[in-house]
Amino acid sequence: MQTISRWLSHGAMYLSAGGLVAMVLIICWQVFARYVLNSAPAWTEQSGLYLMLWFIIFAAAAGVREGFHIRLSLLQDIASPARRRAMRLFCHGVVGVFAAYMLVAGGQLVLATWQHDIPTLGLPRGSAYLPIPISGAIIVFFSIEHILAEWQGREVQPLWN
> Which among 72, 95, 108, 82 has a CA at the least distance from the CA of 141?
95
Whether residue 158 contacts residue 66, with contact meaning beta carbons closer than 8 Å, is answered with: yes
Torsion from C-alpha of 20, 21, 27, 32, nearest 10 degrees: 170
Which residues face 124 on adjacent strands?
A: 117
Whether 161 has a pLDDT exceeding 90, the answer reads no
**What's the burial of 53, exposed, middle or buried (CB within 10 Å: 0-12/13-18/19+)?**
middle
Flag whether pLDDT at 15 surpasses 80: yes
Amino acid in position 156: V
Each residue's pLDDT tens digit, 50-88 = 999 999 999 999 999 988 777 667 777 788 888 888 988
**pLDDT of residue 155 exceeding 70:** yes
Distance CA(99)–CA(140), nearest Å, equals: 6
pLDDT of residue 116: 95
CB under 8 Å to 83, separation ≥6 — which residues?
none
- Residue 153: predicted pLDDT: 86
